[in-house]
Structure 1
Amino acid sequence: MRLDGRGQRLAVWGVAAFIFAVLMIVTPKIPQDQKYHQFADRRNFFGIPNTLNVVSNFPFLVIGIVGLVLTLHGNSFGLSLQGELLGWSIFFLGVTATAFGSAYYHLKPNDARLVWDRLPMTVAFASVMAVFIIERIDEATGKASIFPLLTAGAGSVAYWRFANDLRLYAIVQFVPCFAIPAMAILLPPKYSHSHYWLWAAGWYLLAKIQEALDMKFYRWTYFIVSGHTLKHLSAAMVPVVTIVMLYCRNVRIERQSLLDKWRHQARGTTSVSGSGSTISQRWKAYWSGRSSSSNLHDETESLVRA
């Protein structure tokens, strides 16, 4: 029996839920290591505890406010869909709130304060994931996913705090880190400057490396700046890159994924006119339940043969 688009979406979500349930059963809990709160740089300047780890959150405040103003004032980013406006507004609100939450945590690092550091970040992760679904797959699907994703993010923080288990939070944080670059490469974009998503992912990867090597960076810089402070600055580059992307991009007439673009460049050819647009339409029709899987499969095969 062949399932229609809606049936296949439900089947995919069902399989994903089953895999998630199995993983939660067979994998051990990941408790919060209390050594996490012991950062390399604990210097106090001007009476501010852990000064550099506190003040290095200031860029999040500036960038978040700038992004929010540009999103809401005069449509500076040229957003054409209501879901995009909502998603990006929530994203920059999350970035702004991260400045306060992270600074509050670093003044006196402990589990109770860490909640207010992690909660705004899950807001940013969830909203940008929803925006990406809106841009690459379907507006209705992405818009409908905003609040469920936000709920999942907040729930993951609550589950960690009360169950002392980081598994859900790890999923909420790291799934977008892998899914967004993969979707940026594989799915045809609605807008230009798609490669900026990869730059944003690269900055976040650098931030996680700096966080993991907190003490090593502190030593490598002759105890001037620690890896965690650098992590804040690198992570702040993610919304900077997205602001530049949003300001510079425009709607693409011919839609072509980065993977197809790289393939054509490797062959020394240009894209096949209309193919990218057709595939994009098929993906959107598929996720909105207006197309059968056979049509999508046939269209995909035609692009591969081309």
Structure 2
Amino acid sequence: MKKRTMSAWGSAILIFIILMIVTPTIPQSQAYHNFADQRSFLGWTCFYIGVAAVAFGSSYYHLHPNDATLLWDRLPMTIAFTSIMAIFVIERIDEHKGTYSIAPLLLAGLVSILYWRFFDDLRPYALVQFVPCIVIPLMAILLPPMYTHSTYWLWAAGFYLLAKVEEAADKPIYSWTHHIISGHSLKHLCAAMVPVFLTLMLAKRTVQTERISLYKTWKKGSEEERFEHSYSNVAVEETR
């Protein structure tokens, strides 16, 4: 048995050597590196860095709540906001423009934070924070997506808006719940759902074969539903 095994291995090695001699070389094609999907993932990287940093910045702020520590809470959130805007430009408008917009958007977010800190004026920061809340749902509905599962964007935006409402109603909610939970605490829970929805979207989505906006999809579905309803009514009347 051992002799047969050695013979089999010897034959296999001999065949391999002969094939290496008689067959042409197979060089690595440089086209291998020319991937079909070459989009930049820098936007998503910045977003998740911002989300991860919020945990540390927010914890630091809540240990000593004041303007100085609030800076470190808002800075990573601003990175996340501005990254999301760049991601939308990449995926809905133009890949190159969106990629080039990452640095200017991050810079705008940083400037808004520093402006608030030095001049005690929240107007630029309010724009950076609330413009995405309005623009992203509109873009998600009106612009044709590159990928499937676009409705997750709306869920994420909805939970973030709910978080802002809960933050504004911090003390009333604390009173309504008989001091069980405050609006600010609920705000953190709802805001935490934003990266959850977006992560689920990334895990599930595929490239959209036919790029149709959510608005057109809903409109088409509504028209088909009306047609089916009218057709069923006509069929019932004919049977009578």
Question: TM exceeds 0.5?
Answer: yes
Q: Match for residue 129 of structure 2? A: 173
Q: How has the CA–CA distance of structure 1 residues 81 and 227 changed in structure 2, closer, same or farther, with 3 Å as cutoff?
A: farther
Match of 2:95 among 131, 135, 139: 139
- Asked if 1:188 corresponds to 2:137, the answer is no
Pairwise CA distance, 1:262: 1.1
SS in 2 for 1:253: coil
Instruction: State the AA in 2 paired with 1:180.
Output: I
Name stretches of at least 5 consecutive residues in structure 1 with no aligned partner.
1-78, 270-306
Match of 1:157 among 104, 108, 113: 113
Q: Which has the higher contact order (CA 8 A, sep 6+)?
A: 1
After superposition, where does 1:1-306 map in structure 2 within 5 Å? 80-83=37-40, 85-268=41-224
Deviations 1:107-138 (A, max 9, x none): 11111111001000000001111011000001
Structure 1 segments of 4+ aligned residues over 3 angstroms from their partners: 79-82
Instruction: State the AA in 2 paired with 1:213.
Output: A
Q: Which has the higher helix share?
A: 2
Rg bigger for which structure? Answer: 2
Distance, in Å, in 1 between the alignment partners of 2:175 and 2:46 is 37
Instruction: State the AA in 1 paired with 2:37.
Output: S
Name stretches of at least 5 consecutive residues in structure 2 with no aligned partner.
1-35, 226-240
Pairwise CA distance, 1:183: 0.4
Deviations 1:7-38 (A, max 9, x none): xxxxxxxxxxxxxxxxxxxxxxxxxxxxxxxx
Instruction: State the AA in 2 paired with 1:202.
Output: G
| CA-based RMSD | 1.2
Pairwise CA distance, 1:81: 3.7
Pairwise CA distance, 1:208: 0.5
Deviations 1:211-234 (A, max 9, x none): 011011111221111110110010
User: Could you tell me the TM-score, scaled by structure 2's length?
Assistant: 0.77
